[in-house]
């Protein structure tokens, strides 16, 4: 397996929570996790493959076709969760 171009990091979400400091309440941290997942779900439902490929490379990760497999699986679930839209929209 190819390594990332950049060094590996832990969870982006957990690192952001840790940066908020020790006074950040666990209930707030749990809300942050849930909100983060809602943001991810919304983005993967909207983004196209070429945009993701470019973003992954800009972030410093070595490109792998496996990312598209993951993206497509996440997007399929995210789109299935959407509320139906009315014909007028």
pLDDT single digits (tens) 34-86: 999 999 999 999 999 999 999 999 999 888 999 999 999 999 999 999 988 87
Nearby residues of 12 by Cβ (< 8 Å), 6 or more positions away: 36
pLDDT at 2: 54
pLDDT at 8: 75
């Amino acid at each position: 397996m190819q390594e990332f171009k950049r060094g590996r990091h832990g969870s982006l979400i957990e690192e952001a929570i840790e940066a908020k400091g020790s006074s950040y309440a666990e209930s707030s941290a749990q809300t942050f996790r849930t909100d983060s997942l809602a943001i991810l779900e919304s983005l993967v439902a909207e983004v196209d493959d070429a945009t993701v490929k470019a973003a992954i490379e800009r972030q410093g990760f070595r490109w792998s076709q496996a990312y598209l497999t993951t993206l497509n699986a996440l997007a399929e679930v995210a789109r299935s969760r959407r509320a139906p839209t009315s014909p007028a929209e």
